[in-house]
């Protein structure tokens, strides 16, 4: 995989490898990698190092995703990648100027050079898929991920949950964290109105065996079963 101009969080690769070694599904690991990459982009373009992340930064991150500002930053990285194909990736969420330049401190590559072969292969394949889905190689068109209105509450909460899991991993590995995982609180979602079938529909359901069963005894038996479930509120 070619080197990418893309910010990463400290020990992000170790977190992803730990998920792989713990037998998480490829899709789950991909989602974690994508979510953490976007969080690293947020920190990078706002000049915030991971060790200095505060509750205010988490709050601003929610607004950042809700407004779709991450799309602008991803486009900036894509343009820089196209312009400087082959340049080394940014390691960690370091402060960056408004325009990335050739003399920017790019840090380490996205995949550790001294890592075992299986680890390098896994991470290269993973980041290729992640960067492709984020539109770093080319700008994707007509995708839900690039709506100008930004992300919905459920998507934002999923991304916040990824940050939480990453912080818990750092605690498990005795690594320093800027704030506890519980400090990354979820956004309040809209209350869903419970859908309840109408009395007419329920009556039709209970009476349906008499209409569709050819054997009268079976029809009566099934109707009694449905009536008992409805009248008693039993759950199966």
Name, in order, each residue with C-beta under 8 angstroms of 49's C-beta and a sequence gap of 6 or more. 43, 92, 93, 94, 95
Burial annotation 203-212 (CB, 10 A radius, 16+ → b, else e): eeebeebeee
pTM greater than the 0.85 cutoff: no
**Res 30 pLDDT > 80:** yes
Q: For the segment 134-172, what is each residue's pLDDT rounded down to a tens digit?
A: 877 666 554 544 555 688 999 999 999 999 999 999 999
What single DSSP character describes residue 209? H
Distance separating alpha carbons of residues 79 and 71, to the nearest angstrom: 12
> How far are the Cα atoms of 46, 131, 184 from residue 135, in angstroms, in the given order?
21, 6, 27
Distance separating alpha carbons of residues 114 and 133, to the nearest angstrom: 27
Q: Quick check: helix, strand or coil at residue 224?
A: helix
**Res 93 pLDDT > 90:** no
Question: 17, 122 in Cβ contact below 8 A?
Answer: yes
**Res 64 pLDDT > 90:** yes
Q: Which long-range contacts (CB under 8 A, 24 or more apart) does 62-68 make?
A: 62/156, 62/160, 62/187, 65/38, 65/150, 65/151, 65/155, 65/156, 65/159, 66/150, 66/151, 66/156, 67/150, 68/147, 68/148, 68/149, 68/150, 68/151
Q: Quick check: helix, strand or coil at residue 84?
A: coil
**Res 101 pLDDT > 60:** no
Distance separating alpha carbons of residues 13 and 29, to the nearest angstrom: 11
Question: 130, 84 in Cβ contact below 8 A?
Answer: no
Q: Quick check: helix, strand or coil at residue 153?
A: helix
Question: 104, 22 in Cβ contact below 8 A?
Answer: no
**Stronger pLDDT, 108 or 217, i.e. the higher one:** 217
> How far are the Cα atoms of 59, 94, 191 from residue 63, in angstroms, in the given order?
7, 21, 20
Which residue's entry shows tokens 């320093």?
Answer: 176
Query: What token pair was written down for 11?
Result: 């020990």
**Stronger pLDDT, 174 or 89, i.e. the higher one:** 174
Q: For the segment 195-225, what is each residue's pLDDT rounded down to a tens digit?
A: 888 888 888 989 999 989 999 999 999 999 9
Q: Which of 70, 68, 78 is CA-nearest to residue 135? A: 78
What pLDDT shows up at residue 236?
Answer: 62
**Average pLDDT of the chain to the nearest whole number:** 81
């Amino acid at each position: 995989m070619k080197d990418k101009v893309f910010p990463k969080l400290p020990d992000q690769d170790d977190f992803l490898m730990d998920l792989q070694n713990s037998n998480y599904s490829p899709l789950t690991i991909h989602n974690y990698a994508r979510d953490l990459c976007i969080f690293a982009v947020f920190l990078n373009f706002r000049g915030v190092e991971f060790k200095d992340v505060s509750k205010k930064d988490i709050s601003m991150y929610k607004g950042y995703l809700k407004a779709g500002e991450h799309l602008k930053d991803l486009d900036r990285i894509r343009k820089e990648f196209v312009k400087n194909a082959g340049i080394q990736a940014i390691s960690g969420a370091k402060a960056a100027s408004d325009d990335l330049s050739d003399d920017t401190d790019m840090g380490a590559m996205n995949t550790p050079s001294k890592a075992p072969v299986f680890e390098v292969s896994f991470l290269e394949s993973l980041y290729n898929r992640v960067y492709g889905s984020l539109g770093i190689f080319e700008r994707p068109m007509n995708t839900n991920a690039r709506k100008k209105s930004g992300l919905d509450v459920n998507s934002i909460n999923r991304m916040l949950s990824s940050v939480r899991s990453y912080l818990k991993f750092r605690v498990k590995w005795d690594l320093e964290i800027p704030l506890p995982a519980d400090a990354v609180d979820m956004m309040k979602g809209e209350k869903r109105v419970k859908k309840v079938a109408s009395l007419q529909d329920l009556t039709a359901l209970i009476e349906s065996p008499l209409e569709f069963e050819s054997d009268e005894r079976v029809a009566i038996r099934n109707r009694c079963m449905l009536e008992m479930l409805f009248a008693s509120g039993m759950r199966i």
